[in-house]
Chains A and B, each alone.
Chain A
Amino acid sequence: MTRLETGLINRDNPLNFQWNGKTYQGYEGDTLASALLANGERLVARSFKYHRPRGVFSAGSEEPSALVQLRKGAHQEPNTRATAAELFEGLEATSQNHRGSVKWDLMSVTDLFAPFLGAGFYYKTFMWPKSFWEKIYEPVIRSSAGLGRLSMEEDPDTYDKGFLHCDLLIIGAGPSGLAAALAAGKAGADVILMDEDFRMGGRLLGEAHEIDGMAAVDWVEAALSTLSKMKNVRLYTRTTVFGAYDHGIYGALERKTDHLPTSDGKPRQVLWRIYSKRALLCGGATERAIAFPNNDRPGVMLAGAVRAYANRYGVACGKAISILTNNDSGWQAAEDIAASGGNIVAVIDTRDKAPRANVPGAMIVTGAHVINTSGRQGLHRIELSNGQTINTDCLGVAGGWSPNVHLTCHQRGRPVWNEKIAGFVPGGEMPVGMSVAGAANGSMTLAAAMKAGDAEAKKIVKALGMKTPATKLPAAKDEKFAITPFWHAPGKGARAWIDLQNDVTAKDIKMSQKEGFHAVEHLKRYTTLGMATDQGKTSNVLGLAVMAEATGKSIPETGTTIFRPPYSPVPIGAFGGRERGMEFHPTRLTPSNAWAEEQGAVFVEVGNWMRAQWFPRAGETTWRESVDREALAVRASVGICDVSTLGKIEIKGKDAATFLNRIYSNAFAKLKLGATRYGLMLREDGICYDDGTTAHLNENHFVMTTTTANAVLVYRQMEFARQCLWPDLDVHMMSTTDAWAQFAVAGPNSRALLQKLIDTDLSNDAFPFMAAREVNVAGVPGRLFRISFSGELAFEVAVPTRYGDALVRALMEAGKEFDVTPYGTEALGVLRIEKGHVTGNELTGQTTALNIGLGMMTSDKKDYIGSVMRKREMMMADDQIHLVGVLPVDPQEQPMAGSHFVTEGTAPTTENDEGWVTSSCYSPTFDSYVSLGFLKRGRDRHGEMIRAWDGLRGRDVLCKVISNHMYDPEGGRQRG
């Protein structure tokens, strides 16, 4: 154990956890990383490409190396940063990306091939021979690529989404964020303060400072206690603001139960959408490394991380700790670690002059750097440029600090280089309403950061029209902050790592520059620098510096890659929220759903709707038996089908008829009262859009039906026409799809059945084909339309939705004497194919009125949507496809939908393609399969033979071309 006396861990609450199957102990307040380090586990991962041994590198969410797998079974979560995983009792964690144990990874032979695996390796190597890609290269790459593994089980946790509103969102609860929250809170602003850590305080937890005469940690507790008493301030720990979006909207992920053994039915994480008037980014800064040969061994860490492990977690990261620095913060780290009881053996400053520091017992080296390291599975020794060697098992590297500008760049803002701190600071255009304070803005020292937080908060509340509060700035010191950039050890030799997560070395960056990838965005894609879960938080600037050096340009000239959301990884489950499985979209039930379930109906999803597909009866063993029976029953007597899913639109107003006449392609201006008519809508480009019937129910009152699929779109288009195209027509509309239960009652006995429930005279003279009236249905005000999709004498009867269930039961009761048969969508389809009506299979968004055989119906005498474009030459040409019916020569052979038409004796090629089969079914009426399809010049070719060729299913069915109106072409039955 390498525990120190210090730290913010609760030693009264020890926690047991498992690492690679072995049991260890840590404490409440530990992360998995600090607990592993405390137990002397240094080698915790294998690197992505070369399978090099890797250890913990940082102490926060920027971690590139210590990626582990948490939990077991379906709860297993790969690629989790051990440095941000809060320890809990019973946590099970394993290392990843190795075959065999993490110590003896069989894949580490990859490292021997490193000379061949440099930048752009994939692009160069797997190009040839082409045939090798699918069978050899891809499978091998797939099995060796990636880091952790998914459980391949369904995620058992739940995720929620929520909305928050505030005057001021403060991102980060370090010194500047806390100072800002205190000021804005006091002003009475509605404040939300969020921090990704499980404990607020930022760097004040990991560094020893004094504020207002007390330990900084105690000041943080006092500040949080003050804030928690303010009703206008909301505090969120374990919450990462991951994206800055338009108009002051922010995305945040709150980890609700990740730190608990089980989520216990509660949502695991919450995705917050935050609407803020203003936002203040107080995200602090991230330390970066220095590149030198073999700088990736476990034990080589960020100096600030070694400091944080000592101060916050009471862990000495090594028995003999050394520090390599190019700035003053490395010295402060050394002082802190030594003061906590850590053993600092050496401090190496790349600058010639070291600041005054109190690191008793340490060897001080200036003007030197590290040129190599040794230690097979962890650091043992370092070699210096002055020839000295130092035995050390932990080297803290202080390469300078990069302000966390990420969120300031999410709206394409570009940061600017600040020479004084050798880092990028926010610049250019910021997201609307965002300002920045503290280290994120380049105020790298404590007193300056707190002052900036306080001042920015006051500016914001003033701009929001609130009174600026009087605050007393906490007393704190500005520590020394001087840096002389030192990016990497010069010279050739062993690899010097820049990006630990993607195994990118200084040599890779130079090679990519040599090969012509000069732009930073190209550099990123070619070398993978700064990709994956850490997005290069510790490596980007270092990579840019090496690139700048290689090109002879300055860092600002070289520029940065763009930062995009998310700041740190967000699980897909959180974006999905509750919208999974059957909750992905709403499920709509028809009014007869309960009744259909009682009948044992088989259901099918149609858009959001659940519709009865067929109603199996005892003894029926295949779906076809049920469907054939249902279709024949309609033709022989009477059947009932719920058609409530059709879109329904009420249209009223003095100009309603004029309006409809401009929406439909056929004449509608003179539709008589009490009649309904089939209507075809086009898109403005002349292609068919939707069809349905519209009834003239009352004076200036029409009722339209649309197809189920297009109900929403048609209504939207009609609102567009009403508001944007003809804004002064007196027309009013309402979608009433959900308001009416509507049933098709079809078959020769439909009149007799309905007459039992409706007192209106339904005789052919009184209620002829295409009549539409408001009627009384068994005491309920309803509507009756004499329309037929099946080709039989048929009606559609509608009542308010709440009576739908009662109506279907009443119809079934009244129909007993006719052996009434409920039928589902399959039989509905059979009947309409036999009759030759079109549906979505034919109205594909590519077909015209001429194609579907309704060219004559479209009007030349009026202006309507699509009236001009439908007459385009190509669309009116003689060789157009026409809707036809096809009958197979062998009635038991099915011309499947999707088959292509080719004439006998020609090869089935694109050139010989003459059209395709759109709809197909077995017709019990004709005792044969029948199909509809589009055939070139089809209406002139009735009687010809054609092949329905289906290369995918290996079918070739010889058919006879006939009219699409296969059943009762004269229409006598529906008019009877």
Chain B
Amino acid sequence: MIINHPLLGPRDAAEFVYLGDASLIERPDGMAANSDQKMYEYVYERDDPAGWHRELWYHEQGDRSWLVVTRNTLTHEIKSVELARDVARKKGRGAK
């Protein structure tokens, strides 16, 4: 596969490490009420779609960016590649 890195252009997938579902960005606050239930869902509950999937890739043999890649798990077509940091900020994780 070729991943079109938003900063570096098209790079071979062999340069990347795969992590999994991009929902891992949305880590619940560990100090909030009901955090045990939320953390359980965060750690163990994942969708496994046959089709479009937003997933985390790490450019380990490159610039060390974490990316959110929207990939079709059936065809390997890649629709978009974003910096995970930008996605995290959009999700409201920017606060310190």
Hey, which chain B residues are within 8 Å of A249, CB to CB?
A: 1-2
Determine if A247 and B43 form an interchain contact, defined as CB atoms under 8 angstroms apart.
no
Q: List 23 A-B contacts (CB under 8 A).
A: A247-B2, A412-B74, A658-B96, A684-B27, A719-B58, A720-B19, A720-B56, A720-B58, A723-B65, A723-B83, A723-B88, A725-B88, A726-B96, A727-B88, A728-B89, A728-B95, A729-B96, A863-B30, A864-B30, A868-B39, A869-B36, A869-B39, A869-B43
Hey, which chain A residues are within 8 Å of B30, CB to CB?
A: 863-864, 867-868
Identify B29's interface contact among A246, A247, A727, A863, CB under 8 A: A863
Identify B93's interface contact among A429, A727, A868, CB under 8 A: A727
CB contact list, B68-85 vs A, under 8 A: 74-78, 83-85
Say yes or no: is B50 at the interface (Cβ < 8 Å to chain A): no
A275 to B60, CA, bound (A): 21
Hey, which chain B residues are within 8 Å of A275, CB to CB?
A: 2
Known: A725-B25, A868-B36. A720 touches B94 (CB 8 A): no
Interchain nearest-CB distance for B44 vs A (Å): 8
Interchain nearest-CB distance for B90 vs A (Å): 10
Interchain nearest-CB distance for B80 vs A (Å): 15
Say yes or no: is A432 at the interface (Cβ < 8 Å to chain B): yes
Interface digits, A701-722 against B, CB 8 Å rule (1 contact, 0 not)? 0000000000010001001100
Identify A723's interface contact among B35, B66, B77, B96, CB under 8 A: B66
A867 to B27, CA, bound (A): 12
Known: A246-B76, A864-B30. A723 touches B84 (CB 8 A): yes
Say yes or no: is A266 at the interface (Cβ < 8 Å to chain B): no
A720 to B56, CA, bound (A): 10
Hey, which chain A residues are within 8 Å of B39, CB to CB?
A: 684, 868-869
Determine if B89 and A685 form an interchain contact, defined as CB atoms under 8 angstroms apart.
no
Determine if B36 and A723 form an interchain contact, defined as CB atoms under 8 angstroms apart.
no
Interchain nearest-CB distance for A575 vs B (Å): 14
CB contact list, A221-246 vs B, under 8 A: 245-246
Closest partner residue, chain B, to A721 (CB atom): B27
Determine if B94 and A727 form an interchain contact, defined as CB atoms under 8 angstroms apart.
yes
Say yes or no: is A871 at the interface (Cβ < 8 Å to chain B): yes
Identify B40's interface contact among A411, A716, A869, CB under 8 A: A869
A192 to B8, CA, bound (A): 26
Counting from the closest, the 4 A-B pairs by CB-CB distance are A863-B30, A868-B39, A246-B76, A727-B88
Say yes or no: is A724 at the interface (Cβ < 8 Å to chain B): yes
Q: How many residues of B contact A (CB 8 A)?
A: 37
Interface digits, A851-880 against B, CB 8 Å rule (1 contact, 0 not)? 000000000001110011101000000000
Interface digits, B26-56 against A, CB 8 Å rule (1 contact, 0 not)? 0101110001100110110000000000001
Name A's B-contacting residues (CB within 8 A). 245-249, 275, 411-412, 429, 432, 655, 658, 684-685, 712, 716, 719-720, 723-729, 862-864, 867-869, 871
Hey, which chain B residues are within 8 Å of A862, CB to CB?
A: 31
Known: A247-B76, A411-B75, A725-B27. A716 touches B58 (CB 8 A): yes
Determine if B43 and A685 form an interchain contact, defined as CB atoms under 8 angstroms apart.
yes
Determine if B88 and A716 form an interchain contact, defined as CB atoms under 8 angstroms apart.
no
Most buried by B among A248, A727, A871: A727
Hey, which chain A residues are within 8 Å of B56, CB to CB?
A: 720, 724
Closest partner residue, chain A, to B4 (CB atom): A247
Hey, which chain B residues are within 8 Å of A248, CB to CB?
A: 2
Identify A725's interface contact among B19, B75, B93, CB under 8 A: B93
* Secondary structure call for the B interface: mixed
Closest partner residue, chain A, to B38 (CB atom): A868
Known: A868-B39, A869-B40. A720 touches B66 (CB 8 A): yes
A247 to B75, CA, bound (A): 10
Interchain nearest-CB distance for A340 vs B (Å): 49
Identify B25's interface contact among A724, A867, A868, CB under 8 A: A724
A411 to B77, CA, bound (A): 11
Hey, which chain A residues are within 8 Å of B94, CB to CB?
A: 727-728
Determine if B40 and A724 form an interchain contact, defined as CB atoms under 8 angstroms apart.
no
Q: A716-B17, A864-B30 are in contact. List 4 more A-B contacts (CB 8 A).
A: A247-B76, A723-B66, A726-B93, A869-B36
Closest partner residue, chain A, to B86 (CB atom): A727
Interchain nearest-CB distance for A479 vs B (Å): 39
Determine if B60 and A716 form an interchain contact, defined as CB atoms under 8 angstroms apart.
yes
Interface digits, B2-21 against A, CB 8 Å rule (1 contact, 0 not)? 10000000000000010100
Hey, which chain B residues are within 8 Å of A411, CB to CB?
A: 75
Hey, which chain B residues are within 8 Å of A716, CB to CB?
A: 17, 58, 60
Closest partner residue, chain A, to B13 (CB atom): A246
Known: A685-B43, A728-B96, A869-B43. A723 touches B85 (CB 8 A): yes
A869 to B75, CA, bound (A): 36
A275 to B3, CA, bound (A): 13
Determine if B84 and A724 form an interchain contact, defined as CB atoms under 8 angstroms apart.
yes
Known: A869-B39, A869-B40, A871-B36. A719 touches B66 (CB 8 A): yes
Known: A724-B24, A728-B94, A871-B36. A863 touches B84 (CB 8 A): no
Identify B43's interface contact among A684, A724, A729, CB under 8 A: A684
Determine if B65 and A432 form an interchain contact, defined as CB atoms under 8 angstroms apart.
no
Interchain nearest-CB distance for A875 vs B (Å): 12
Interchain nearest-CB distance for A564 vs B (Å): 15
A412 to B31, CA, bound (A): 47
A31 to B35, CA, bound (A): 72
A728 to B85, CA, bound (A): 9
Most buried by A among B17, B29, B83, B84: B84
Known: A725-B93, A868-B30. A432 touches B40 (CB 8 A): no
Identify B88's interface contact among A719, A724, A863, CB under 8 A: A724
A863 to B83, CA, bound (A): 25
Hey, which chain A residues are within 8 Å of B27, CB to CB?
A: 684, 725
Determine if A868 and B84 form an interchain contact, defined as CB atoms under 8 angstroms apart.
no
Hey, which chain B residues are within 8 Å of A720, CB to CB?
A: 19, 24, 56, 58, 66
A869 to B41, CA, bound (A): 11
Hey, which chain B residues are within 8 Å of A723, CB to CB?
A: 65-66, 83-85, 88
Interchain nearest-CB distance for B57 vs A (Å): 11
Most buried by A among B27, B42, B74: B27
Interchain nearest-CB distance for B77 vs A (Å): 7
Interchain nearest-CB distance for A562 vs B (Å): 14
Closest partner residue, chain A, to B95 (CB atom): A728
Interchain nearest-CB distance for B46 vs A (Å): 13
Most buried by A among B29, B40, B94, B96: B96
Hey, which chain A residues are within 8 Å of B1, CB to CB?
A: 245-247, 249
Hey, which chain A residues are within 8 Å of B95, CB to CB?
A: 728
Interchain nearest-CB distance for A551 vs B (Å): 29
A867 to B78, CA, bound (A): 35
Interchain nearest-CB distance for B88 vs A (Å): 4
Interchain nearest-CB distance for B66 vs A (Å): 5
A275 to B11, CA, bound (A): 11
A690 to B8, CA, bound (A): 32
Closest partner residue, chain B, to A248 (CB atom): B2
Hey, which chain B residues are within 8 Å of A658, CB to CB?
A: 96
Hey, which chain B residues are within 8 Å of A245, CB to CB?
A: 1
Closest partner residue, chain A, to B76 (CB atom): A246
Interchain nearest-CB distance for B18 vs A (Å): 11
Interchain nearest-CB distance for A194 vs B (Å): 20
Determine if A724 and B29 form an interchain contact, defined as CB atoms under 8 angstroms apart.
no
A712 to B60, CA, bound (A): 9
A864 to B25, CA, bound (A): 15
A864 to B35, CA, bound (A): 12
Hey, which chain A residues are within 8 Å of B64, CB to CB?
A: 719
Interchain nearest-CB distance for A717 vs B (Å): 10
Hey, which chain A residues are within 8 Å of B24, CB to CB?
A: 720, 724
Interchain nearest-CB distance for A712 vs B (Å): 8
Identify A863's interface contact among B31, B60, B75, B89, CB under 8 A: B31
Interchain nearest-CB distance for B58 vs A (Å): 6
Interchain nearest-CB distance for A869 vs B (Å): 6
Determine if A724 and B96 form an interchain contact, defined as CB atoms under 8 angstroms apart.
no
Interchain nearest-CB distance for B2 vs A (Å): 4
Hey, which chain B residues are within 8 Å of A246, CB to CB?
A: 1-2, 76
Interchain nearest-CB distance for B32 vs A (Å): 9
